[in-house]
């Protein structure tokens, strides 16, 4: 008798066989925080606009988060899959550069 894994074909030696199961482990994909950083030059209303435009926040939510970044230096503005987080960072960085503001947006694994 030779134990065989579920995914293998059992042997043909005529005696009893024992099936061995291993649990299929499904891993959730990692999530990433998108962070907005403070600086001394980007206008407050520009940051508020970015949060409305790219993160779907209301004006008052956006204003609140903007003030948090202004006072604390950084804030998490959302948590996404790697691909979505990367897209958000690119959208913010491109938009800031086009308007010649030094605003910085980054992502980090949660």
Residues that bind ligand TYC (CB under 6 A): 36-40, 42-44, 47, 66, 69-70, 103
Q: How far apart are alpha carbons 85 and 63 in whole angstroms?
A: 21
Smallest gap from Cβ 60 to ligand TYC, in A, equals 16
Rounded-to-integer distance, Cα 82 and Cα 109, Å: 8
User: In angstroms, what is the minimal distance from the CB of 39 to ligand TYC?
Assistant: 5
| Closest of 69, 10, 84 to residue 39, by C-alpha | 69
Is the Cβ of residue 56 or residue 73 nearer to ligand TYC in the bound state? 73
Of 4 and 63, CB closest to ligand TYC:
63
- Residue 79 CB, nearest approach to ligand TYC (Å): 18
Per-residue tokens: 106: 């980054």
> Cβ closer to ligand TYC: 32 or 48?
48
Closest CA to 15 of 31, 25, 27, 4: 4
Nearer to ligand TYC (CB atom), residue 17 or residue 45: 45
What is the nearest approach in angstroms of ligand TYC to the Cβ of residue 47? 4
């Amino acid at each position: 008798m030779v134990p065989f894994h579920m995914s293998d074909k059992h042997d043909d030696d005529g005696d009893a066989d024992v099936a061995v199961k291993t649990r299929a482990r499904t891993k959730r994909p990692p999530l990433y925080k998108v962070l907005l950083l403070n600086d001394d030059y980007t206008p407050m209303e520009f940051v508020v606009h970015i949060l409305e435009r790219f993160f779907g926040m209301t004006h008052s939510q956006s204003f609140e988060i903007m003030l948090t970044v202004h006072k604390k230096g950084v804030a998490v503005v959302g948590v996404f899959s790697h691909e979505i987080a990367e897209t958000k960072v690119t959208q913010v960085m491109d938009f800031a550069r086009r308007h010649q503001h030094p605003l910085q947006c980054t992502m980090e694994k949660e």
